[in-house]
Structure 1
Amino acid sequence: MWNWFGNWLKQPPPPMVLVPPLFDFPPLAARTRMLESSYDLLFGKLALKCLFEDYFEEARHFSSRIMLKPIDDPHVDLVATVSGPLDNQPDENIVGNALFRWQSDVDDPNTFVDLFVSSSDPILQMRSSAYYPKYGFGAFGIFPLLLKRRVSSEDYGVFGLRYGSGNCHLEPHLCLYPVLKDEFAKSVWLVSKVGRLTAGVQYEPQYGSNDRANYKNLNDWSCAIGYGAGSGSPLSPSFNFGIELAKSSELIASFYQHVVVQRRIQNPLEEDEVVGITNYIDFGFELHSRVEDANASNKIPESTFQVAASWQANKNFLLKGKVGPQSSSASLAFKSWWKPAFTFNISATRDRVIGKTAFGFGIRVENLREASYQRADPNYVMLTPNMEHLAEGIVWEGKRPMLQSDVNAGNFDGLPRELRPFDKIL
């Protein structure tokens, strides 16, 4: 009788929303961020780079990528790529690359050593990076070991130092073997952050045959300011707006926004309590305008822009599109989370100058991670279950679901690693 009475009082499980894993985590561009200037990665530049380039194949070209990680050693992985034209073009060849990487901490990509081999220059290259956030110091080096020709100072290697506090970072990039006189500093940058505002300046001298370092040359200086909001977690909406004056000759304005939405689903393969799914929508805009005299060069256009958007409907499908003044592109990617995972993408590019459409293809195979749908409480968009209902659901589910209140409060400890905010050096 007590069992019958207990079942009668037992509430049904609470409604849940599926949270799919990200298509790519972490993005390959983020794994080498210590080798790049923070000036080139902040102001939404890294997110815009992934939005404008990932899964957009060049017209009449293909690309393939294999990413493998040993089962018994998660600290190392191998990434091999092969790309080239789909038809026989005399001026293009198929290019193959391979990258072997050792990472000190599985969750921290800032300390690593990798070895890069390629069928094109550089044929063999080693890169190393170490960063100690406790002390704010870091260092890295890029060493081309085999090259067909060594022309510039960068061909002999680049060394960089980094120091940063919570709100300010400084880093010089130095050439190991200057080819020209005074060609020692490759670049020096300073970035500061106060609240949601980020400002930075970068000195990057452009050396010529008879040039020397001249700090008064405004063409060697760039400055930028950005405003960003959001925690950086894929479960939290965010946006970033930036304006940059590059080389005192070009104005770059950019905007990036990440939106999290929930939509209802009727999926017979899921449990009855699953009523919706989370989608990730990204939008980006970038405008380049010349500020120097229009008669300075006829080869460089006065201004150009590009707009892109992406929509991840679930863990299997990603749709992207971008529009520019001369061409438009659309891409559809499908990912199957087998072991190893398999991704196929096709992109179409419409060239409005010649009035033709061409296609590109890509395929990826990787075993770097496993997909797992998470369950989230949908109280902030779709439903509002009471606390007793939610508490009963937690007991029934056997584990604590993700709560929007925790996400808004910045409590990401109970979330999978890929749904937490991606740590920033700054």
Structure 2
Amino acid sequence: MGNFVNKEPPPPMVLVPPIFDFPPLAARTRMLVPAYDLLFVKLALQCLFEDYFEDARNFSARIMLKPREDPHIDLVTTVSGPLDGSKEGNAVFRWQRDLEDPNSFVEVSVSTSEPFIRFKSCVYLPELGLGIFGILPLLIQRRTHSENSGFIGVRYGSENLSIGTSLAPFSLSAGFPSCAWLVGRAGRLCAGVLYKPPCEGIKDEVDFRHLKNWSWAVGYRVGSGTPLRPSFNVSLELAANSELTASFYQHVVVQRRVQNPFEASQVVGITNYIDFGFELKTRFKEHKSTASVDRSTFQVAASWQANKNILLKGKIGPSLSSMALAFKSWWRPSFTFSITAISDHARGGASFGFGIRIEDLREASYERADPNYVMLTPSKEHLAEGVLKKFGSQPMFQSKVDSGDFDNLPTELKPFERII
């Protein structure tokens, strides 16, 4: 009886919400993207600057479905266009060999904007670090660019080095690489070079001696690829011998106190994810094709995931500024409604865009973490024993995260693979 009266209450816990949108659709085909773009966070900045930002007076709807009988396949369909005009649609059917590894897959996509059928595929051998990838478009009437003729490529990736190339065997520039890269990192420093001719399909323009076909970049990285750890990335790129780009991307993990009557009494806080990005482009050499383009442009964006239901994003540019609010309901299937407010600095006035997403790819689950997981300010709650006995579950601990023990966590909270 005395043991029952003196029983210690469960230790205080902190909620860790699921990632709002995982995986980002752009990241599912990252094996088709040069490692040059991945190492210098171009893909991460693209998601930050574009996801959930709808165009002015535009509506988009996206449906993402995965059958329970076979989780290796899924279907993503999108319809978008002006609120008072015609709409365009596309659909992507995907088969993925391993649920935990998105690098080996087959995709078939169709679109009404430019009628075609496009096959995308990649086979990755993690034990060798080798990947073979390709894109084959069909039913295209005019193949004016090499990308419309399809390409095949090969890549090698390790934790500190990546090299790869792609060829367009059916284009006018057959025999010349349509893209090639070499990137590496040593500690927190990284550097890379990218060869990509801007004028595809013209043999005279694919000469390796033309500096405009080359891009160079250096960067500094801190942190890992898991959403549960902060990260810091800054890079400087010289592109096409005419454009200098400075970019910055930071992922921050913070905790705030929460009072939720639907949670257990020992839940004292919630984890938030904050992302911030900046990109500045300055053109110091003018070409005929860019004579009417501004010499300098920039964009700044930030996002805040307050919990598993609410995401707030903002973006500022020289001519437009946007704010986006997305609300996700985690039913099955889940629904996400977003609204974007756009301010035109040149013309004045505001306009709005709307979007809706239906998703049946995963289920939401709050993870429990020991308050020492992120909290930096000591409190009496930090003296609690780190064991949660309710429902027989056990919380995450900072020691496990530091040691790389993510085995019991959802895929979206684990670190991305270490290969470049």
8 Å CA contact 1:222, 1:247 repeated in 2: yes
Partner of 1:390: 385
**Any idea what the Cα deviations from partners look like across 1:284-312, whole Å, max 9, x if unmatched?**
10000112259995412111111111111
The 1:209–1:175 alpha-carbon spacing in structure 2 relative to 1, beyond 3 Å, is closer
Partner of 1:356: 349
- The 5 A counterparts of 1:216-295 are 216-292=209-285
8 Å CA contact 1:127, 1:143 repeated in 2: yes
Q: Structure 2: how far apart are the matches of 1:185 and 1:417?
A: 35
Q: Structure 1: how far apart are the matches of 2:191 and 2:263?
A: 47
Which sits farther off after the overlay, 32-41 or 159-168? 159-168
Task: Answer yes or no: is 1:339 the counterpart of 2:332.
Answer: yes
**Any idea what the Cα deviations from partners look like across 1:86-114, whole Å, max 9, x if unmatched?**
123xxxx4111011100000111100011
8 Å CA contact 2:172, 2:203 repeated in 1: no
Q: Structure 2: how far apart are the matches of 1:249 and 1:317?
A: 41
8 Å CA contact 2:169, 2:175 repeated in 1: no
**Any idea what the Cα deviations from partners look like across 1:291-345, whole Å, max 9, x if unmatched?**
2259995412111111111111110000000101111000000000001000000
Q: Structure 2: how far apart are the matches of 1:52 and 1:212?
A: 31
Instruction: Give the superposition deviation at 1:171.
Output: 0.6
The 1:157–1:386 alpha-carbon spacing in structure 2 relative to 1, beyond 3 Å, is closer
Q: 1:422 aligns with which of 410, 416, 419?
A: 416
Partner of 1:84: 81
The 1:212–1:315 alpha-carbon spacing in structure 2 relative to 1, beyond 3 Å, is closer
Q: Identity of paired residues, percent?
A: 58
Q: Structure 1: how far apart are the matches of 2:30 and 2:116?
A: 22
Instruction: Give the superposition deviation at 1:212.
Output: 4.8
Partner of 1:50: 47
User: 5+ unaligned residues in a row in structure 2: which ranges?
Assistant: none
Instruction: Give the superposition deviation at 1:145.
Output: 1.0
8 Å CA contact 1:378, 1:384 repeated in 2: no
- The 5 A counterparts of 1:105-124 are 105-124=98-117
Partner of 2:181: 189
Instruction: Give the superposition deviation at 1:8.
Output: 2.4
The 1:174–1:413 alpha-carbon spacing in structure 2 relative to 1, beyond 3 Å, is same
Amino acid in the other structure paired with 1:336: S
Amino acid in the other structure paired with 2:405: N
Q: Structure 2: how far apart are the matches of 1:34 and 1:350?
A: 36
Q: Structure 1: how far apart are the matches of 2:179 and 2:158?
A: 20
Task: Answer yes or no: is 1:29 the counterpart of 2:21.
Answer: no
The 1:14–1:221 alpha-carbon spacing in structure 2 relative to 1, beyond 3 Å, is same
8 Å CA contact 2:79, 2:88 repeated in 1: yes
**Any idea what the Cα deviations from partners look like across 1:69-100, whole Å, max 9, x if unmatched?**
01110100000000011123xxxx41110111
**Any idea what the Cα deviations from partners look like across 1:193-233, whole Å, max 9, x if unmatched?**
11121211011123465725321111110011111111211
Q: Structure 2: how far apart are the matches of 1:209 and 1:37?
A: 22
Partner of 2:197: 205
Instruction: Give the superposition deviation at 1:418.
Output: 1.1
Q: Structure 2: how far apart are the matches of 1:259 and 1:219?
A: 36
Instruction: Give the superposition deviation at 1:165.
Output: 3.2
Q: Structure 2: how far apart are the matches of 1:145 and 1:223?
A: 34
Which sits farther off after the overlay, 230-239 or 364-373? 230-239
The 1:386–1:334 alpha-carbon spacing in structure 2 relative to 1, beyond 3 Å, is closer
8 Å CA contact 1:294, 1:302 repeated in 2: no
Task: Answer yes or no: is 1:41 the counterpart of 2:38.
Answer: yes
Question: So what's the TM-score if we normalise by structure 2?
Answer: 0.95
What's the secondary structure of 1:47's corresponding residue? helix
Q: Structure 1: how far apart are the matches of 2:371 and 2:60?
A: 39
Q: Structure 1: how far apart are the matches of 2:153 and 2:31?
A: 9
Which sits farther off after the overlay, 315-324 or 295-304? 295-304
8 Å CA contact 1:337, 1:371 repeated in 2: yes
Q: 2:155 aligns with which of 144, 150, 162?
A: 162
8 Å CA contact 2:278, 2:300 repeated in 1: yes
The 1:299–1:408 alpha-carbon spacing in structure 2 relative to 1, beyond 3 Å, is same
8 Å CA contact 2:281, 2:297 repeated in 1: yes
8 Å CA contact 1:101, 1:112 repeated in 2: yes
Amino acid in the other structure paired with 1:342: F
Which sits farther off after the overlay, 339-348 or 139-148? 139-148
Question: So what's the TM-score if we normalise by structure 1?
Answer: 0.93
